[in-house]
Amino acid sequence: SAVISQKPSRDICQRGTSLTIQCQVDSQVTMMFWYRQQPGQSLTLIATANQGSEATYESGFVIDKFPISRPNLTFSTLTVSNMSPEDSSIYLCSVSTSTYEQYFGPGTRLTVT
């Protein structure tokens, strides 16, 4: 399994601002994913980020709100843009092996005031 780190671990942000979350993996991986976990809710996939191609967004999530970069096989960023209190959540990145298993980072806890 891969070791995954995320920065920041938590942040409190003002409404209307943007936050960029970083995800670093200790080995090269093809597929990286970004999830949102709202309080008391399940994990919801935001997008799949593959190196060398545009991210693929799930229904209800758009690039203007959640732009993603994937500059190489060990790093990705997710930006939460023009934030509102509804964006308060835990944001998680994960990586996938070839057997569909996913391994998760520790998460970023975002509070928007």
Helices of type H across the chain? none
Decide if residue 98 touches another protein (CB under 8 A): no
Decide if residue 45 touches another protein (CB under 8 A): yes
Quick one: 42 or 113, whose CB is closer to another protein?
42
Decide if residue 14 touches another protein (CB under 8 A): no
Decide if residue 61 touches another protein (CB under 8 A): no
* CB 91 within 8 Å of CB 78: yes
- Which of the ranges 11-19, 37-45, 69-77, 81-89 carries the binding residues for another protein, by CB under 8 A? 37-45
Q: How many residues bind another protein (CB under 8 A)?
A: 23
> 3-state class of 87 per DSSP?
helix
- Find the shortest distance in angstroms from Cβ 103 to another protein: 6
Exactly one of 19, 80, 92, 110 binds another protein (CB under 8 A); that residue is 92
* CB 80 within 8 Å of CB 67: no
> 3-state class of 86 per DSSP?
helix
Examine residue 39 and say whether the peptide bond preceding it is cis (omega within 30 degrees of 0): no
Exactly one of 77, 105, 110, 112 binds another protein (CB under 8 A); that residue is 105
Q: What is the phi-psi region of residue 100: left when phi exceeds 0, alpha when psi lies from -120 to 50, beta otherwise? A: left
